[in-house]
Amino acid sequence: MTKRLVASAAVLVLVLPSIASAARGPRAPLQRHTAADTKRAKAIVLRRSDFATGWTLDPPAKSNTPCTAGPNESSFVQTAKVNPSFTYKDGVTNVGSEADIFRSVAEARQDWRASTPSLLGTCLLQSAGAGFGKKTHIRIASATTLAAPTGAERGLHYRYVLSVGSTKPANLVVDVVALGRGRVTVVLYALTVRAPLPAAVVKGLTGVLASRLDAGQGITA
């Protein structure tokens, strides 16, 4: 792995949390967290014990540049948002999850419908551009809709390959997998270099999140 790939991936790790939900800033849902919903969100997201050896919990992410391409969701209210992430011992591979709980099922579903491949791709480019700087050439080499996970009310899986640089581009792969039921949406995102995270690993982590989402299916009102 070249130093350029490592440096490029390390920068993107810093901005990944900002694409777990498309909207940020004044267009984002209002944050009015409750103790009960925050407890449920924390029970759903990934934890260190869900990973094999070699993974470390990241420090809390700092605020990133808002995505201006998202829909106006400022009338929505999120009653919980929890988003831990983990980095592998290679210092590059990164996996995170985010649990969002809305005040109503209707708002959760409207937010879900806004999460289109093109919107998330645009927000990813904006976040990466802010992280790398304007002089770095960044483009989406490919955007693929993969088979969605089953077993939940809502499911999606998008994969993006980012080309970073102009002379000898570095290819970074970002997977976004999401599940939703009732008021709850949970997102799994992964950053890798050259090749995506092994399908068995993605399936296993998605299964963990799905089982915890099932445990919280009573959150519907």
Per-chain mean pLDDT for the chain: 83
Task: Name the H helices within 46-104.
Answer: none
**Is pLDDT above 70 for 94?**
yes
- pLDDT of amino acid 216: 59
Task: Kindly report, residue by residue over 103-112, the tens digit of the pLDDT.
Answer: 999 999 998 9
The one-character DSSP state at 160 is: E
Longest Cα–Cα distance in the chain: 53
Please report which confidence band the pLDDT of residue 13 belongs to, taking 50, 70 and 90 as the band edges: low
The one-character DSSP state at 104 is: S
- List, in order of start, the domains of the chain with CATH numbers: 3-215 (3.40.1000)
Task: Kindly report, residue by residue over 117-135, the tens digit of the pLDDT.
Answer: 888 888 888 777 776 777 7
- pLDDT of amino acid 10: 53
Task: Kindly report, residue by residue over 161-207, the tens digit of the pLDDT.
Answer: 988 877 777 788 999 999 999 999 999 999 898 899 999 999 999 99
Phi-psi map region of 33: left, alpha, beta (phi>0 left; psi -120 to 50 alpha): beta
Residue pair 159/144 in contact (Cβ under 8 Å)? The answer is yes
66, 107, 108, 211, 216 from 114: Cα distances, Å: 16, 11, 10, 25, 23
